[in-house]
Chain A
Amino acid sequence: VLPICSVRNGRCFGSFEELLERAVSLSEEISKKAFELFTAFDSQYAQSHQLIVKSLKKCHTSSLDLPKPGSQAMQTHPVTLLKLASKLLRAWQVPLNHLVNNLPSLKNVSPSILSKAKEIEEKSNGLLEGVKSILIQMQNGDTEDENYPGWSGLASLKSETEDIRLFAYYNMIRCEGRDTQKVETALKMVKCKISNENNC
């Protein structure tokens, strides 16, 4: 059930704390589902095909990294963390769509894998909208055009070679799981800063 919100600039805005709390909760759900998807795919395809060695390729979002704890970067302003989360979510909007549309082409793909992928896509889109709302409130409507890294794995997903397609899917699911954790951690750090560590 959506909370009561106030409309500004054609958008629905709840209280800031409510929005942030909902964002953190949603990111936790996405992260959990991504881990489950990776475990299921790995147990069904990776073990029997020894794909790990071949799939150790950098993710398309490797340039977007969170600062290490204890470093000066941890003292960064919450806006920086929110922008990082926003870029990560935006970078995965297109790849998740292709993942959902092409997974059915795999042989013997299980329905649970398909449903989890679909759920991750929908919730990630929702979380992106939430993070944008929070940024608008914090910056008083000043929104910059975000530069996010592009994804170039579509050709591999559609390759006629089975091994090439499996390699591509495995690498994509692994990277998605990691990035969902990054978004979750970033949002939690923002929440702790803003709420004076009451709920941390």
Chain B
Amino acid sequence: QSPPGKPEIHKCRSPDKETFTCWWNPGSDGGLPTNYSLTYSKEGEKNTYECPDYKTSGPNSCFFSKQYTSIWKIYIITVNATNEMGSSTSDPLYVDVTYIVEPEPPRNLTLEVKQLKDKKTYLWVKWLPPTITDVKTGWFTMEYEIRLKSEEADEWEIHFTGHQTQFKVFDLYPGQKYLVQTRCKPDHGYWSRWGQEKSIEIPNDFTLKDTTVWIIVAVLSAVICLIMVWAVALKGYSMMTCIFPPVPGPKIKGFDTHLLEKGKSEELLSALGCQDFPPTSDCEDLLVEFLEVDDNEDERLMPSHSKEYPGQGVKPTHLDPDSDSGHGSYDSHSLLSEKCEEPQAYPPAFHIPEITEKPENPEANIPPTPNPQNNTPNCHTDTSKSTTWPLPPGQHTRRSPYHSIADVCKLAGSPGDTLDSFLDKAEENVLKLSEDAGEEEVAVQEGAKSFPSDKQNTSWPPLQEKGPIVYAKPPDYVEIHKVNKDGVLSLLPKQRENHQTENPGVPETSKEYAKVSGVTDNNILVLVPDSRAQNTALLEESAKKVPPSLEQNQSEKDLASFTATSSNCRLQLGRLDYLDPTCFMHSFH
């Protein structure tokens, strides 16, 4: 047995800022029954009071009701323990009620699962302040906290909510069960204990909805993919063309392997763009044309060469082929004419010596001018000789005028023969001149001047053709002179030629014979009738030759020329031998 131990005041708390309670821990009791008593005094007061209520708050406690509570004062509290052996007192505790407030936890906690418009779920938590506290008057100002966790979790998730009494919790897992608690604290004091625990389970309906949404999305996307694949399959070619446009081929024309294989050169050339060149057929034609042109030229050149060579080469052999090639045709006609004339003409043996004489005497060409003077007396002699046929061969050579007559017959035979006849006449004239060359030197010089022009003409075949025409004029004059002297002989060839070519009738022949008889008569009797007869004959010839359109012009020219010739003839008749050469010279000039 001993006195009691020293008690200890545990804590003092005020739930509503109007009342408060203090608790103490008793010490040892000393083995004897012990009584405890609580005494207090207020600041500024010396009186000491005892606890007003030991029962309301339970054992070892003292409750101060509103009557005994002063909020704005400090309490000095002590506890005494007493037993039979003695007593002991605790240490004093100074209490300011405003600082020892600890409210009750919030009440009416409710949980509710809600959904926003976007189908998002959340937990709605709401509560009420503790009942004892008079918050509405402003005597209290509470702050709240909420804590949350899933059933399986170990740690709580705390959220401070301030003065509001409701809270929304998001990001919850469907199918989970959640636990929720709340607590509060006054503006100056201690946090209350956590309130009653509430639980709620988040349903899976939302998850089902979400899954349905995802399913719909998946199905739609699958359908879209299928449609795209189908479209691509249908339009694959066009798509490929769009993506990979065809590469343009080369525009430059080149060789084709097929053409090379086939071996078609024409197509190859066309492929190379050689269309400008003429086709092979055209080329062949061109070649042919060129060949033909060359052949024509050769043919033209050959006759000229042949004509030249025989003139300079072997005389007899060359002369023969020339006559055959170029003059063959003419000779044939001439032969025919000769055959026709053979009964009338002399044998061919006489013709040959004349041809041989021509090449021997190239200078013989010079004296054609003096021939007419000499020819005139020759003609006279000829006429006398013609009357006497049994003359010697020498006299035969003098019969060349008759050969000329034969030529005249040839001309009368055909127009082609006319050229040959003119040529033959020229040759014959040359022969005559050669005979007279030695007699007159002056005549030779004059003849030399005239012959160079003739040579130039001979080099050109067409000019050669013209040449006979040129010769035609001098032969006319020569014939005229012959006519002047021979009278009958000279007139006959002109008249016959004209008549036969223009009017191949018999009466012309009769006229010729009449003139001849006149000549003989004239020759014997008088020259004047010969000139008259010649003038009339020339006029007739000019009228026949001239075409009807140009008859007047040619007739005038012919008249002028005839007048001149007539004057010359008169002078010749007056002076006889001396006047004739002068007249001829004037005519030439």
Contacts and interface: CB of A to CB of B under 8 A. Distances in A.
22 contacts: A28-B187, A56-B74, A62-B44, A65-B72, A66-B71, A66-B72, A174-B74, A182-B72, A185-B138, A185-B139, A188-B138, A188-B139, A188-B141, A189-B139, A192-B136, A192-B137, A193-B138, A197-B136, A199-B163, A200-B135, A200-B136, A200-B137
B76 interface: yes
Given A35-B99, A185-B139, A70 B66 contact: yes
Interface string A149-185: 0000000000000000000000000100010011011
A181 B76 CA distance: 21
Contacts of A70: 18, 66, 134
B94 A35 contact: no
A58 B74 CA distance: 10
Interface in A116-159: none
Contacts of B187: 28, 31, 184
Ranked nearest first, the 7 interchain pairs of A and B with the lowest CB-CB distance are A192-B138, A188-B138, A58-B44, A189-B138, A56-B43, A69-B139, A197-B136
Given A69-B17, A192-B138, A200-B137, 7 more contacts: A56-B44, A68-B71, A69-B134, A70-B66, A190-B138, A192-B137, A200-B135
B76 A56 contact: yes
Interface string A56-86: 1110001001101110001000000000000
B83 interface: no
A74 B137 contact: yes
Interface string A26-58: 001001100100000000000000001100111
Interface of B: 17-18, 43-44, 66, 71-72, 74, 76, 92, 94, 96, 98-99, 134-139, 141, 163, 187-188
A191 interface: yes
A178 B44 CA distance: 15
A174 B141 CA distance: 22
A56 B43 CA distance: 5
A118 to B, nearest CB: 22
A70 B65 CA distance: 13
B18 A68 contact: yes
A58 B18 contact: no
B72 A191 contact: no
Contacts of B96: 178
A68 B74 CA distance: 16
A200 B138 contact: yes
A127 to B, nearest CB: 16
Contacts of B18: 68-70
